[in-house]
Every structure is written in C-alpha cells, then in structure tokens.
C-alpha cells in the first residue's frame, strides 16, 4: 500500500518535472554530453545542467537559455536532439574544428534563438531551410565552415537579423531575392551586415537585392564568382559604409548613382572586368580606401577630382588604363599613405609636389612611361619607379629604380617595462613578463581605413581598446599582445592576438568561452578605422584543472527541485513531495560521501583480483579512475600524447596544476594485480634526478595506470631530429649523455633490487626545462630479484637498432644490454642519425667512416652539422671511443654504467664543461636521505614552471 502511494507520487513528481520542461533539457544536454568528446569536466558533476556548475550552460527558470562553448576542442556533430532546447537563445560553438557533419534541420525548432554562432567549425553540407524559422535571430554567423549549396531563401524571413556572416564556406548558386511568396535577402531591412566573401556564389547580383528600405552598412561579396554588371539599385542603400565586390567576374559600367553612397569609407571593386569610364566618386567625401585595380576601364587620365577626396589614405588603381601625367597636387591629399598606380601608361614628369602628405609611405608606379622625376631631394617614402623610361637609361643607380626588399612590418607588443623570463615549452611570456598559456587567434580586418602597417600607434590603440573591453566585460584578462600584422591575399589585415589570463598561468573554461563569445559575437567593437573583423581562434587546451564543483552542483540541484515543487503544487501533496525531495537529497549526500571516500588513498585498491593488501609505497599516491578521467579530460584525444606496446600515454594536470603523464595499460596487456603491485612498489622507491619520477598509480575499475611527472621538453629524439626546435650543441649533448648515464647507473647499481631498463633509446630520454636528461619508461623494466643473480631469462623485448645482439641471441638479459643500447644512443647523439636509416646501421657507419689518424677521427661528414664548430668538439674522440666500447659484441667487453659515467665526467672536464656537482657517489647519498619521503625534484617551483611528460604539450592542434 505504502509502496503504491510512493509509486503514484513518483509518477506525479515526474509529470511535474516534465511540465516545467526541465527534464527534457536535461536529457538533451546529457545527449550532447554523450555525443561530444571533450565536454568540460564540470559536466560530469551531477546530472542537472541547470545546477549552476556546468561550464558554458546558462539557464533561466530551469530551462537552458544559452550554450557557449567556443574553443573547447569539442569533437562530434550537432545532433538533432538540440531541437529540444526550445528556450535556447544563444548557441555559440565557434572555434571547434572537430564539430563536423551537417547542420541538423532541427535547429529550426529553436524558436527563441537570437544568436547562432558556429564560426570556424567543420560543418559541411547545406544550410538547412529551417533556419528561416528562427524569427528572433539577430546574429547568424556560419562563417569559416565547409557549408555547400545555395544560401537558403528562407533566411529572408529573419526580419530581426542584424548580422549575417556566411563567408569562407563553399556556398554556390545565386543570391536569393524575394518574388511573390518566396522570401529573399532583400527583405532583411534590419540587417547591417551581409558578409558572403570567399564562397563560390555565382550569377548576377540581382537588381532586386537592394532597395531604399535597407540599412546595410557592410556589403562584403569579395572573392566569389559573381558575373554581370553592378545593379544601379546598389545606389539606393545609402547607409553603406563598406562595399567589397572585388575578385569576382563583374563586367559592364559602374552605375553612376554609386556616387550617391556618401557614407562609403572603403570600396573595393578590384579584380573584375568592369568597363566604361572610371566611376565619378566625388560624392564619397569620407572615402578612405579605394581599390579599383585590374579592371578594363576606358583609357583615361588620373581623375582630377581625386584631390577633393580629402579622407583618402589609399588609392589603388593598378592596371586600369590610366595615362597622361600624374597631377602635381595628387600627393597633397592630407592623409595619403599608399598609392599603387602601377602597370598603367602614366607619362611625362613625376613630381611629388611641394606639400606631400606627411603620412605617405609607399608610391608604386612601376611599369609606366614616366620619363623624368623632378624631385630628387631627400624623401622618406618608398618610391618604386622600376620599369619606367627614366630607370632604363644606362647608368641609373637611383634607389627607386630597384625593387625594394619586402617591407613587412614586424610589430610585436613590447614587454611592459620588464624583462621577459624564459618560459618552459608551451608557456609564453606575457607583456607583463609572466609565463602563461595565452588564448591565441587571429583578427582578420576586412576593410580597415588605413593601409600603412608601419604605424605602430594603431596597434597600441587596438591593444588598449581590447584591454578596456575585457575589463569592462569582467573577463579574467591580464594583458594582450598583438603580433605580426600583415596583409593576406584577400587584402585583409591579419593581426595575431594573444590574450593572457589573470590570474595565470591558465584560463578556466568560463574564461575561454567568455573570450570566444566576445569575439565570435562581435561584442568587442574596435574603432571605425578597423571596421569589421572576423576572429579565428585556435583551440585552447591548457585549462586550469577544474576545482570539483560536485557538491555545490548538488546543492543547487536540490534547491531548484524545491522551487519547482513549490511553484507547481500545494497542499498535502507538497508535504509528501518534500519527503521525496529529502530522500533524493539524502541519496545525493550519500553519493558525495562516496566520492570523498574515493579520494582516500587505497580506497580503490582493487582487492577482487587477488592482489593482496594495498601496496606499500614511498610517496606515490593512489588515484581513482574517476580522478584520472577528470585530470585528462576524459582521456581525450588531445591529451593523448603517445602510444606504446602497453597502451596509451595521456597528458593531464593535477588540481594543483602539476602536469602529469599517464600510462594506461590497454585491456589485455595489463598484468596480474600482484605483478602490478610489485612494479609500482618498486618504481615508487626509485628517485633520481635523471629518472622520470612516478607520482602515483591507478588500480581501479579494472584499469592499470602509472602516473609520472611530465617532462616539458619532450624526447631527446625530437631534439636531435630538429622537431622540438631545441638546438643541442656539443656541451649540451655531453651533459645529456652524462645525465642519462647517471640515471641508468642508478638503476643498475643503487636501486634495490637492481633494475635493467631493457629499452634505452633516445625516445625514452626526456629533457626537462633545463635540458636535464631524464630516463623514462620503466614499463619493460625487469628487476633482478635474487641478490646474486647475474642475468634473467626473458622473452626478448626492446627496440630494433638499440638491442644488444647477445641478449637477442641468448635471451639472457644483463645490465650490459642497457650499456649496448646506451652506446647506440651516444652515436645518435653525435650523428643525429637514426640507429637504422635506409637499412644502414649506425654502428657500422661510424666504424667505417672512422680514421683514428685524423682529427676528430675524420668523422666530420657523419657528424650532425648542428653540433657546432669542429674546433669546439673537445673530447669527441674519447666520446667515440667510449661509445664503441659500449657496443662491443659481448657484454663482458663493455664497460659498466659506472665506468661510462666516470669517463663522461672526464670528457666533460677535458672540454672545460662543468659536469655538475653531483658525482656518482653523492647520487647515492642524496638518494639515501631524500628517498625516504617522496620528494619531487621541483615541487617547490611555481605552478607549471616545472616538468613532466613524454612530449611537449601540443598547444594548438589544427
Ligand atoms: C519600404 O517600406 C515601405 C513601408 O514599409 C513600403 O511601403 C515600401 O514598399 C518599401 N519599399 C521597398 C522598395 O521595398
Ligand atoms: C551616414 O553616416 C552618418 C554618421 O554615422 C549617419 O548619421 C547618417 O544617417 C548616415 N547616412 C545614411 C544615408 O545612412
Ligand atoms: C562627378 O559628379 C558630381 C556630382 O554628381 C558632378 O558635380 C561632377 O561634375 C562630376 N565630375 C565629373 C568629372 O564627371
Ligand atoms: C601622355 O599620355 C597622354 C594620354 O595617354 C597622351 O595624350 C600624351 O601624348 C602622352 N605624352 C607623351 C609625351 O607621350
């Protein structure tokens, strides 16, 4: 009976939840979560997206109203489920290149949507017609995807549209215009922006596209396949400020009423097939930037009215059939910066005039018929007169008669009165000289008013505008840097942006989606001289580790439940429902208790698989599966930094910011519990400066994982191959050889029981931020168990090229097998050649090239050219001798690692290099004292300033 009442109440409860709609949104979000890779870790806390803890989700009255997840590295598509979020107003998934597939027609159900931003994703296929149902839409940005097919005519129904950006897709077909019942773009009278550039749109620009009711300010149709003439209706849209019709196949006469567009400041009609007279533009008194280049205008002289356009900064009329003499006062236009009148038939005498613009930077008059130049006085502008008669006389050496070398501005925001520190790999020094992981991307300004890139005050101004905006918007920004301004082939001004977090060194997800939205949604508006932009960001994957939002999320959830109940029902039902709610809350609390139990070390020692008691560890800690899942962003693709025989290696970060590398055994390749325990007990006792330290392990839910420190500068192999960009001179190579040798000597002589590495190779020697060598990967290591055991018989494992031939033949593994591999590493260190390259073996190659009677043993030709000048390779001969002793055929002819260390120390001393204070004997002493407690070599360094890993972080995979 009681049970039946309960059942009934549960049914009522569920129904109430459905009528409030909350459950539905929750299911949709869960579906998205399951569908996408790399959702924020906070999405794993609690099941209620409106609980307040889910990054990128905003709710009102328990309905999802905004999803902002730009630059999250999401992978997947946009499933039809999204259509269930009927209260959604903002959807910003910009800068997730991993979002692919077609745009579901279910977006048409999102009737409340005002902002749909999918900038720079990987969507393909047609833009669904249903998009025309989104009557409240104000911002539609589908730019920089792979959309195909025509622009849906239904977009014409979006009466509230303000911003329409479809640029940089693969759209084809003609521009839709209304016709009776059929909608068209001409109906978008509230739209200010038509950005359709960089597509394959074709056909005429229909006269019906424009009318006097429109309020467009930016018309960007550049780089399409539009043909026919420019319709004279364009002259009706008097609000226009930027007109880009360049790089199409437009022909015919430019309609004269274009001169009515008195507010135009930038106009590009270049690279078409326009004919007739050069258009009269006297009405455009605000015109800054004019490009009419590469058209078929009738032959004419340079129009005299140009000088009446006092705002001009840039005049480009390359190859436009201009003849006659350039007017003397042409360069007196006060703000003139760049003039390109090349490839015309200008003749007579050139005069810069007595009063040229003080901003004049570049005058390109190459390939004309100019016979003389009156003004040979000192001028600071870049003047190009190549291929004019006056430069063809013999003996002419004037500077303007040769082509200038490239004149790219190399601006980069300077440090703010501080000395930039050298940062570890992946980190960048901010203008305030803090090492951090910046959010990076590029601005593409499609119609700036200026053309000179050398005026650095412009960039300083943009910097200030950005900082002012970020502060006002309460975004966690410390500083911004602008870099490498340039013009691209579309004549867009490209400026790279780096945004630095405050506090450093990383942004959290809320910070990133806030920045992404501000830039994808054009919330940041620069001053008018920059005009419109597109921002393209790279994925950000250096997030601060999430602080667990689990408990607070749960709290929110229960209170929300209370509100729903309170507002939905009254009377006695309420009482019973409150009891249910209390039961629910109790359950939640139990769950919380469960999670806190999980963080107890060894709580998750999997005792089911006969693995005995939890292991006795020195310093290494036990992680739960859930913890490591969180630290690696659900073992995401981007955090996967390597693969080995045993499984995958992942990068992650601990809540304290320490970077870690996780070796996750593949199902099936994991060992028995006892074996695993033995291994981690052993590894946890191994502490040495030249060995990658074990931080912990996971033996939980059938998983076996080892958690190591992450070593920032990656493998020695990557440095030798030039991949990492770290230059290794002879001194550094010696230091690395000695470090690795000390690490191996420790394993052989001081670890208890001794450990044979079994897979010594340049791939397993990592370099930290100070290029200290750290030997990695003990996965294949085998301890020598008995005290007087001299070898162990095992199945042969290792890597071709490094493998001891004796071990290979006898299957008897000794320490000397590591010595052999180390000898190969030494040869690789001086030659930077792979052990086996084009079926040639490095050991034989060196032996054959060697002539002991010559200087450097005559090895100059096989040495790595980047090792340094031969005069500085002190001790190289001894180094080669040592390497060749290490690769002797039989183990007993090879030196022990301790001898190798001594000899390397000797070689370093010979070269005058400091072999480091740590002699091999003090190594053991320091181990004895510091080995008692887990003592990370850099545990006192600040967040991220230290080490860890198998490869440098992939900062921005594209
Ligand atoms: C402009 O709007 C007015 C008022 O809504 C309308 O009567 C007129 O037909 C429109 N003109 C054009 C060219 O669409
Ligand atoms: C031209 O620009 C000015 C200033 O922005 C504005 O007030 C005016 O309305 C614009 N003219 C037209 C025809 O839109
Ligand atoms: C250009 O147009 C203006 C106004 O429409 C007119 O006054 C002027 O005479 C024209 N100039 C030329 C050279 O056609
Ligand atoms: C210069 O060009 C103009 C216009 O093309 C032409 O009429 C004139 O004869 C040319 N003068 C000389 C000196 O070639």
pLDDT tens-digit profile of 658-700?
788 888 887 665 666 666 777 777 777 788 889 988 888 888 8
Which tokens go with 359?
Answer: 């901003």
Angle between helices 876-886 and 815-831 (to 10 degrees): 140
If pLDDT is split at 50, 70 and 90, which confidence band does 265 have?
very high
213 CB near ligand 1 (under 6 Å): yes
211 CB near ligand 1 (under 6 Å): yes
Which run of H or of E encompasses 171? strand 170-173
pLDDT tens-digit profile of 333-367?
999 999 999 999 999 999 888 888 888 989 999 99
**Could you give the angle at the alpha carbon of 369 between the alpha carbons of 364 and 372, nearest 5°?**
85
Nearest alpha-carbon partner for 218 in 165, 283, 179, 260: 165
CATH fold for domain 295-402: 3.80.10
- Give the active site residue among 759, 804, 818, 864: 759
**328: helix, coil or strand?**
helix
pLDDT at residue 580 greater than cutoff 70: no
User: Between 940 and 134, whose confidence is greater?
Assistant: 134
C-alpha span between 657 and 661 (Å, rounded): 13
If pLDDT is split at 50, 70 and 90, which confidence band does 793 have?
low
Q: What is the mean pLDDT of residues 377-398?
A: 79
pLDDT tens-digit profile of 122-177?
999 999 999 999 999 999 999 999 999 999 999 999 999 999 999 999 999 999 99
**767: helix, coil or strand?**
strand
The rounded percent of the chain whose pLDDT value lies above 70 is 80
pLDDT at residue 12 greater than cutoff 70: no
- What pLDDT shows up at residue 783? 54
pTM, two decimals, is: 0.60
When mean pLDDT is compared across 91-100, 324-333, 408-417, 500-509, the lowest value belongs to 408-417
Residue of the nearest CA to atom 4 in ligand 4? 324
Nearest alpha-carbon partner for 562 in 542, 579, 543, 540: 579
Check the annotation: does 663 bind a ligand.
Answer: yes
**Measured between alpha carbons, how far is residue 658 from residues 630, 664, 692, 712, 932 in Å?**
14, 18, 14, 11, 22
Q: For residue 260, which ligand has an atom nearest its CA? A: 3
If pLDDT is split at 50, 70 and 90, which confidence band does 16 have?
very low
Residue of the nearest CA to atom 13 in ligand 4? 348
> Ligand 4 centroid vs 347 CA: distance in angstroms?
6
Task: Report DSSP letters for 582-641, one per residue.
Answer: HHHHHHHHHHHHHHHHHTSTTTT---TTS--SPP--SS-EE--HHHHHHHTTTT-GGGEE
- What pLDDT shows up at residue 133? 96
If pLDDT is split at 50, 70 and 90, which confidence band does 789 have?
low
Rounded to the nearest integer, the mean pLDDT of the chain is: 81
pLDDT at residue 929 greater than cutoff 60: no
When mean pLDDT is compared across 281-290, 815-824, 869-878, the lowest value belongs to 869-878
Nearest alpha-carbon partner for 748 in 803, 794, 688, 696: 688
- What pLDDT shows up at residue 634? 85
Handedness of CA 546, 547, 551, 556 (dihedral sign): negative
Residue 790 burial class via C-beta count within 10 angstroms: exposed 0-12, middle 13-18, buried 19 and up: exposed
Which residues approach ligand 2 with their CB closer than 6 A?
238-239, 263
Atom of ligand 1 nearest to the CA of 212: 13
When mean pLDDT is compared across 268-282, 487-501, 861-875, 880-894, the lowest value belongs to 861-875
305 CB near ligand 3 (under 6 Å): yes
Q: What is the mean pLDDT of residues 187-203?
A: 96
User: Between 358 and 231, whose confidence is greater?
Assistant: 231
Q: What residue has token string 């494992």?
A: 797
CATH of 621-709, one of 3.40.50.720, 3.20.20.70, 3.30.230.10, 3.30.200.20: 3.30.200.20
User: Between 208 and 792, whose confidence is greater?
Assistant: 208
- Ligand 4 pocket: which of 324, 350, 371 to mutate (most atoms <8 Å of CB)? 324
pLDDT at residue 3 greater than cutoff 60: no
Atom of ligand 3 nearest to the CA of 283: 4
189 CB near ligand 1 (under 6 Å): no
Active site residue 490: no
Which tokens go with 298?
Answer: 């009738």
pLDDT at residue 636 greater than cutoff 90: no
When mean pLDDT is compared across 94-108, 195-209, 791-805, the lowest value belongs to 791-805
Q: Per residue in 208-218, is it b (16+ CB within 10 Å) or e — as a string?
A: bbbeeebebbb
pLDDT tens-digit profile of 112-135?
999 999 999 999 999 999 999 999
**Rg (alpha carbons) of the chain, rounded to whole number:** 35
> Per CATH, is 716-945 categorized as 1.10.510.10?
yes
Domains of the chain, residue spans: 295-402, 428-510+524-537, 621-709, 716-945
> Ligand 1 centroid vs 213 CA: distance in angstroms?
6
Residue of the nearest CA to atom 11 in ligand 3? 280
- What pLDDT shows up at residue 377? 58
């Amino acid at each position: 009976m009681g049970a039946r009442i309960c059942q009934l109440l549960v049914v009522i409860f569920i129904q109430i939840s459905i009528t409030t709609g909350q459950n539905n949104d929750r299911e949709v979000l869960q579906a998205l979560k399951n569908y996408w890779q790399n959702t924020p870790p906070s999405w794993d806390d609690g099941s209620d997206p409106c609980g307040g803890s889910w990054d990128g989700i905003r709710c009102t009255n328990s309905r999802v109203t905004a999803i902002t997840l730009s630059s999250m590295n999401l992978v997947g598509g946009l499933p039809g489920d999204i259509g269930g979020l009927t209260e959604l107003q903002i959807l910003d998934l910009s800068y997730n290149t991993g979002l692919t597939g077609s745009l579901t027609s279910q977006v048409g159900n999102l009737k409340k949507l005002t902002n749909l931003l999918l900038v720079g994703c990987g969507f393909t296929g047609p833009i669904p017609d249903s998009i025309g149902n989104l009557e409240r839409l104000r911002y539609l940005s589908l730019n920089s995807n792979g959309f195909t097919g025509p622009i849906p005519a239904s977009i014409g129904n979006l009466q509230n549209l303000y911003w329409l950006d479809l640029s940089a897709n693969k759209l084809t077909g003609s521009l839709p215009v209304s016709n009776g019942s059929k909608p068209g773009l001409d109906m978008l009278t509230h739209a200010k922006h038509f950005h359709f550039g960089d597509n394959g749109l074709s056909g005429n620009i229909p006269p019906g596209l424009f009318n006097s009711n429109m309020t467009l300010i930016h018309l960007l149709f550049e780089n399409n396949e539009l043909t026919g003439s420019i319709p004279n209706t364009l002259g009706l849209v008097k609000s226009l400020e930027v007109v880009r019709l360049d790089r199409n196949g437009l022909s015919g006469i430019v309609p004269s009423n274009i001169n009515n567009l008195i507010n135009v400041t930038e106009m590009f009609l270049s690279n078409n097939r326009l004919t007739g007279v050069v258009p009269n533009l006297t009405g455009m008194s605000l015109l800054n930037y004019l490009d009419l280049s590469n058209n078929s205008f009738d032959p004419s002289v340079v129009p005299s009215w140009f000088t009446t356009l006092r705002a001009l900064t840039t005049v480009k009329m390359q190859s436009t059939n201009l003849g006659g003499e350039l007017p003397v006062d042409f360069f007196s236009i006060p703000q003139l910066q760049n003039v390109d009148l090349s490839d015309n038939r200008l003749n007579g005498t050139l005069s810069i005039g007595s009063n040229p613009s003080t901003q004049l930077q570049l005058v390109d008059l190459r390939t004309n018929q100019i016979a003389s130049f009156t003004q040979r006085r000192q001028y600071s502008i870049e003047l190009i007169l190549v291929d004019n008669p006056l430069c063809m006389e013999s003996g002419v050496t004037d500077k303007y008669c040769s082509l200038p070398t490239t004149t790219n501005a190399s601006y980069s925001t300077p440090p703010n009165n501080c000395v930039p520190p050298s940062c570890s790999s992946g980190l960048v020094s901010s203008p305030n000289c803090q090492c951090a992981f910046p959010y990076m991307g590029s601005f593409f300004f499609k119609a700036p008013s200026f053309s000179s890139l050398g005026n650095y005050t412009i960039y300083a101004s943009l910097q200030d505008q950005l900082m002012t905006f970020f502060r006002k918007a309460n975004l966690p920004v410390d500083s911004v840097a602008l870099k490498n301004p340039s013009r691209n082939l579309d004549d867009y001004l490209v400026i790279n942006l780096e945004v630095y977090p405050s506090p450093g060194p990383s942004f959290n997800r809320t910070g990133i989606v806030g920045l992404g939205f501000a830039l994808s949604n054009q919330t940041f508006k620069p001053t008018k001289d920059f005009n419109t932009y597109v921002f393209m960001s790279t994925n950000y994957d250096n997030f601060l580790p999430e602080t667990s939002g689990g408990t607070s999320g749960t709290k929110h959830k229960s209170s929300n439940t209370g509100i729903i109940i309170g507002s939905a029902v009254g009377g006695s039902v309420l009482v019973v429902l409150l009891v249910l709610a209390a039961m629910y809350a109790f359950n939640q609390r139990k769950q919380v208790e469960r999670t806190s139990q999980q963080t107890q070390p060894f709580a998750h020692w999997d005792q089911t698989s006969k693995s005995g008691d939890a292991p006795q560890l020195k310093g290494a800690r036990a992680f739960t599966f859930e913890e490591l899942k969180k630290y690696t962003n659900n073992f995401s693709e981007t955090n996967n930094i390597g693969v080995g025989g045993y499984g995958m290696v992942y990068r992650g970060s601990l809540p304290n910011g320490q970077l870690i590398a996780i070796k996750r055994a593949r199902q099936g390749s994991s060992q028995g519990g006892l074996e695993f325990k033995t291994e981690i007990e052993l590894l946890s006792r191994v502490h040495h400066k030249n060995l990658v330290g074990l931080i912990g392990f996971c033996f939980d839910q059938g998983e076996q994982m080892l958690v190591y420190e992450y070593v920032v500068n990656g493998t020695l192999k990557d440095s030798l191959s030039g991949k990492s960009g770290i230059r290794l001179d002879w001194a550094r190579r010696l230091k690395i050889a000695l470090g690795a040798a000390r690490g191996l000597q420790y394993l052989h002589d001081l670890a208890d029981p001794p450990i044979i590495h079994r897979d010594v190779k340049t791939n397993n020697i990592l370099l930290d931020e100070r290029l200290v060598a750290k030997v990695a990967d003990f996965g294949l290591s085998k301890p020598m168990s008995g005290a007087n055991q001299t070898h162990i018989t095992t199945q042969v494992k290792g890597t071709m090229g490094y493998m001891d031939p004796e071990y290979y033949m006898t299957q008897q593994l000794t320490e000397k097998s590591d010595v052999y591999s180390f000898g190969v590493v030494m040869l690789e260190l001086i030659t930077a050649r792979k052990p086996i390259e084009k079926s040639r073996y490095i050991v034989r190659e060196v032996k054959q090239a060697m002539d002991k009677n010559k200087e450097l043993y005559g090895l100059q030709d096989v040495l790595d050219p980047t090792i340094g000048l031969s005069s500085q390779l002190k001790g190289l001969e001894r180094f080669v001798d040592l390497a060749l002793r290490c690769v002797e055929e039989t183990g007993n002819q090879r030196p022990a690692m301790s001898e190798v260390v001594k000899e390397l120390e000797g070689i370093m001393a010979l070269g005058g290099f400091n072999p480091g204070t740590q002699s091999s004997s003090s190594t053991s002493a320091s181990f004895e004292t510091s080995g008692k407690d887990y003592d990370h070599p850099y545990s006192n360094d600040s967040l991220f300033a230290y080490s860890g890993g198998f490869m440098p972080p992939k900062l921005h995979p594209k």
